[in-house]
């Protein structure tokens, strides 16, 4: 009997220890603790997301070329700006920005069609502007009365409707949220009261009501994170919120936080905040528009939009260096995604449908690239992605052949022949016309069991 009791006690102790080891870690409201949180695996595996900038600024939909059209209101208040001249000529000097809000009707917005497009693009998550710097919300926030899409403009919960449609397609849904608001009187008069009574309750409202998988904070640069109470909010998000196990956040939580704190670091149009190229040593995400602007800019000619080839090669480049691509579309005020943006997304989806195994769930290899080749890896496979077409042969210096090495291409039925020369792996590409080779723009060579 004593032996039985001892065994039972031992089992109970083991179980109690297991409970302790399996207990959720609590994060303290300071960066030292918050930065120890592991990033949820889904985000690193996803690689490609869709950014959407949509708001009152989508009504004038105008900016000087190579600028951000979503900054229309801010630029309007610069006396000699191109936006001011355009506005006065088009709408009149007495037409106030707020008068655009009732014109933001979204009458042609069909969230199911948007979600289908995003699914077909190969994206795995979507991030919508819940509120940009103008302060207008795309959902019925009680903290922005008469300045949200339910009360003025579309009279519809645009964010809620899109979230349902996106999730129904199996994609993750996240939200961009601007900490500051250009012309909110409370922000301009008492930032601490603004944070306590407006910003912090509002971002918690967004989390509680819509359960984001991503929070892309922005507009942080006016104040340190202590003023924004960012550490306090993130501790609540990681410990208490309903999305604590899934949500990921960026690095824009205070004037000092970019490239230093957050689940992942951000790069915008290939640059970090300091104007340097990405080399951040942590999970990162590049965000940019298909054109120059995030919000729709009717002043952008077709030549300002990246081609499908440029976008696909950019995605490959980013993923080979451990990053994600968050690619932006700017819908029109009536709720349509411009056709040129749809065409670009569908071209990316076509490429990913064939070559996605070299992108999704991969990690950077020990060498990110050589020449026109970029590398990724997954399991015992290394993917050599050639940015273009290599011709009759592809010579690689980074990969070393083993006795079990095979080489193949997605969509090509037969394994490819190869030979090993001192310091080189030389692959014979399919000897058929290029238009008969599966894919375009960037070609994937799967190297199994190489060193």
Distance CA 82, CA 84 (A): 5
Q: What is the pTM of this model?
A: 0.94
Task: Please tell me the predicted confidence (pLDDT) of residue 419.
Answer: 95
Say which CATH architecture domain 369-450 belongs to. Answer: Sandwich (2.60)
Token couple for 6: 């001892």
Alpha helix segments (H runs only) across 121-214: 158-168, 185-189, 191-194, 200-210
Angle between helices 339-355 and 308-320 (to 10 degrees): 50
Are 328 and 293 in contact by the 8 Å Cβ rule? The answer is no
What is the predicted pLDDT for the residue at 143? 98
The domain made up of 31-358 has a fold known as: TIM Barrel (3.20.20)
Query: Quick one: tokens of 113?
Result: 């069609």
- The CA–CA distances, whole Å, from 387 to 59, 369, 414 equal 38, 11, 22
Whole-number Å distance between alpha carbons of 86 and 68: 15
- The domain ranges of the chain are 31-358, 369-450
Q: Report the C-alpha gap between 149 and 104 in whole angstroms.
A: 8
Q: 29-77: per-residue pLDDT in tens? A: 999 999 999 999 999 999 999 999 999 999 999 999 999 999 999 999 9
DSSP letters of 35-68? TTSPPPHHHHHH-EEEEE--SGGGTT----TTS-
pLDDT tens, the chain, 451 aa long: 444 444 444 444 444 444 433 357 999 999 999 999 999 999 999 999 999 999 999 999 999 999 999 999 999 999 999 999 999 999 999 999 999 999 999 999 999 999 999 999 999 999 999 999 999 999 999 999 999 999 999 999 999 999 999 999 999 999 999 999 999 999 999 999 999 999 999 999 999 999 999 999 999 999 999 999 999 999 999 999 999 999 999 999 999 999 999 999 999 998 755 445 555 578 999 999 999 999 999 999 999 999 999 999 999 999 999 999 999 999 999 999 999 999 999 999 999 999 999 999 999 999 999 999 999 999 999 999 999 999 999 999 999 999 999 999 999 999 999 999 999 999 999 999 999 999 999 999 999 999 8
């Amino acid at each position: 009997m004593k032996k039985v009791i001892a065994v039972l006690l031992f089992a109970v102790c083991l179980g109690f220890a297991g409970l302790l080891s399996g207990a959720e870690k609590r994060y303290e409201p300071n960066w030292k603790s918050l930065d120890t949180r592991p990033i949820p695996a889904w985000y690193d595996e996803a690689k490609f997301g869709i950014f959407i900038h949509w708001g009152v600024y989508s009504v004038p939909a105008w900016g000087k070329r190579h600028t951000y059209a979503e900054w229309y209101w801010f630029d309007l208040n610069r006396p000699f700006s191109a936006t001011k001249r355009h506005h006065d000529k088009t709408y009149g000097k007495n037409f106030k920005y707020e008068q655009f809000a009732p014109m933001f009707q979204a009458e042609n917005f069909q969230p199911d069609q948007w979600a289908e497009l995003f699914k077909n693009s190969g994206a795995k998550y979507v991030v919508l502007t819940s509120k940009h710097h103008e302060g207008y919300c795309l959902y019925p926030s009680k903290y922005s009365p008469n300045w949200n899409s339910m009360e003025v403009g579309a009279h519809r919960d645009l964010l809620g409707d899109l979230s349902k449609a996106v999730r129904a397609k199996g994609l993750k849904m996240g939200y961009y949220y601007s900490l500051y608001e250009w012309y909110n009187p409370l922000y301009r008069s008492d930032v601490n009261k603004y944070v306590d009574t407006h910003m912090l309750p509002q971002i918690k409202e967004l989390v509680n009501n819509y359960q984001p998988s991503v929070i892309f904070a922005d507009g942080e640069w006016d104040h340190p994170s202590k003023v924004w109470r960012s550490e306090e909010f993130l501790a609540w998000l990681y410990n208490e919120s309903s999305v604590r196990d899934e949500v990921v956040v960026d690095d824009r939580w205070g004037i000092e936080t970019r490239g230093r704190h957050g689940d992942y670091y951000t790069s915008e149009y290939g640059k970090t905040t300091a104007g340097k190229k990405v080399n951040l040593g942590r999970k990162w995400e590049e965000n940019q528009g298909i054109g120059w602007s995030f919000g729709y800019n009717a002043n952008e000619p077709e030549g300002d939009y990246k081609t499908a080839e440029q976008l696909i090669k950019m995605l490959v480049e980013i993923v080979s260096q451990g990053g994600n691509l968050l690619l932006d579309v700017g819908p029109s005020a009536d709720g349509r995604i411009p056709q040129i943006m749809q065409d670009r997304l569908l071209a990316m989806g076509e490429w990913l449908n064939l070559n996605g195994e070299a992108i999704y769930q991969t990690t950077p290899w020990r060498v990110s690239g050589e020449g026109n080749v970029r590398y990724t890896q997954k399991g015992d496979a290394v993917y050599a992605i050639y940015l273009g077409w290599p011709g009759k042969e592809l010579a690689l210096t980074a990969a070393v052949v083993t006795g079990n090495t095979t080489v193949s291409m997605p969509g090509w039925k037969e394994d490819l022949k190869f030979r090993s020369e001192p310091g080189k792996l030389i692959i014979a590409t399919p000897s058929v016309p290029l238009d008969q080779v599966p894919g375009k723009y960037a070609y994937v060579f799967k190297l199994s069991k190489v060193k």
